[in-house]
Structure 1
Amino acid sequence: MSTSFFEALKNRRSYYGISKESTISDAKIQEIVEEAVKYTPTSFNSQTSRAVVLLGEQHDKLWNHTEEILREVVGNAEAFQSTAEKMAGFRSGYGTVLFFEDNNVIAQLQQNFAAYADNFPIWANQSNGMLQLVIWTALEQEGLGASLQHYNPLIDEKVKQEWNIPENWRLIAQMPFGKPTATPGEKEFQPIEQRVKVHK
């Protein structure tokens, strides 16, 4: 089922129709995340990125908590309907990867390399974005659909409490995934010559 890297990159899309099935074993999912965290580059080889994988009931629990928190924020039941449908869609998946950055490591780098202090949080976010793409594309290669969500900081405290997350880990994003049940629509692209310039 594996495809070439660029084919996987081209096929990587936001899949909102996902099921509670997986095309690969839980051990393979863990391997993908561990390898991605280990080998995705970080500034100064700082290795600030962290990940938590939620499967089965733990995955459901995340989206139940998120729905409860958002319901309190929105208040109006009618206005909340579309949000409830989104939560049900994410919950219908097989699992979720939570992405974090370790603020303690970033702070230590800022102290050790004061000249670059303002840049370390930026570089950490860039590294986390690379990690997200690596995992997203690797899941795509294995026939799994995913999307990237950002319900932080609303859910941060609940996530830390529920899964005993260290206080210094800052939640960046959530990636629900599962076997695709629907194909995303066509994607439009700007002319590439407007986005890439080559000078020889």
Structure 2
Amino acid sequence: MIKDFYTAIENRRSIYGISKETTVSDERIQEVIEDAVKYTPSAFNSQNGRVVVLFGEDHDRLWDITKESLRKIVPEDKFAATEEKINSFRNGYGTVLFFEDMSTVQALQEKFAAYKDNFPIWSQQSSGMLQFIVWTSLEIEGLGASLQHYNELIEDEIKKQWNVPNNWRISAQMPFGKPIAPAGDKEFMPIEERIKIFK
């Protein structure tokens, strides 16, 4: 069943209870991610969003790397909770890694010096849109996901493990899989406190 745009936005939530099962083929996951990368807006049409998708053992390896990196900085008496959290991501079917191509950003800074300070900001905004589109697209396909940010902690190891170009800067990790538990309740501020309309 195809959901409309507004329903998909409402249903996109942080889903932490995920399994090593999927609701669609790997080819379909690849297709929706490729479409998201292709059509996400970017400043000056820079198209600086980059993605790595990990399935199977590669997905497991990512979260093993993350867990061992955290083991070095989290006190031993507090590590059990950290390990449980990381294992919940490892229990998923796959992970989407999001990057920004900083060589593209730097080239634009040189070409359009008047906007130099804005290009890193615009790059992050485009990256956020890409993450949202992928997240919502996975939700439409029946998959649960959440967005994580272990960036600097694992970036060097990720680049070595999967031969990621050095000019790609990591911005987020999105573990996904078939949902096995619903999202928690979400409270909303009164909408009139967040929007002003003038006619």
**Which category describes the TM-score, using the shorter chain as reference length?**
over 0.9
Aligned to 2:65: 65
1:39 is aligned to 2:39: yes
Identity of aligned residues (%): 61
1:8 is aligned to 2:8: yes
The 5 Å alignment of 1:97-136 reads: 97-136=96-135
Give the residue type in structure 2 aligned to 1:182: A
Q: Which ranges in structure 1 are unaligned for 5 or more consecutive residues? A: none
Distance in 1 (CA, whole Å) between partners of 2:6 and 2:50 is 26
SS of the residue aligned with 1:182? coil
Distance in 2 (CA, whole Å) between partners of 1:11 and 1:160 is 33
Structure 1 consecutive aligned stretches of length 4 or more whose deviation exceeds 6 Å: none
Instruction: State the Cα distance separating 1:2 from its structure 2 match.
Output: 2.5
Superimposed CA distance per residue, residues 96-145 of structure 1 (whole angstroms, 9 cap, x where no aligned partner): 00000001000000000000000000000000000000000000011100
Give the residue type in structure 2 aligned to 1:48: N
Q: Which ranges in structure 2 are unaligned for 5 or more consecutive residues? A: none
Aligned to 2:82: 83
Distance in 1 (CA, whole Å) between partners of 2:69 and 2:137 is 31
Distance in 1 (CA, whole Å) between partners of 2:83 and 2:27 is 31
Instruction: State the Cα distance separating 1:77 from its structure 2 match.
Output: 2.2
Aligned to 1:171: 170
Distance in 2 (CA, whole Å) between partners of 1:114 and 1:62 is 38
Distance in 2 (CA, whole Å) between partners of 1:188 and 1:182 is 19
Give the residue type in structure 2 aligned to 1:57: E
SS of the residue aligned with 1:35? helix
Superimposed CA distance per residue, residues 59-111 of structure 1 (whole angstroms, 9 cap, x where no aligned partner): 0000000000000111x322111110011100000000000000100000000
Distance in 2 (CA, whole Å) between partners of 1:87 and 1:2 is 32
Give the residue type in structure 1 aligned to 2:41: P
SS of the residue aligned with 2:106? helix
Give the number of equivalent residue pairs.
199
CA RMSD of the aligned region, Å? 0.6
Distance in 2 (CA, whole Å) between partners of 1:145 and 1:78 is 31
SS of the residue aligned with 1:54? strand
SS of the residue aligned with 1:193? helix
SS of the residue aligned with 2:95? strand
Distance in 2 (CA, whole Å) between partners of 1:92 and 1:52 is 19
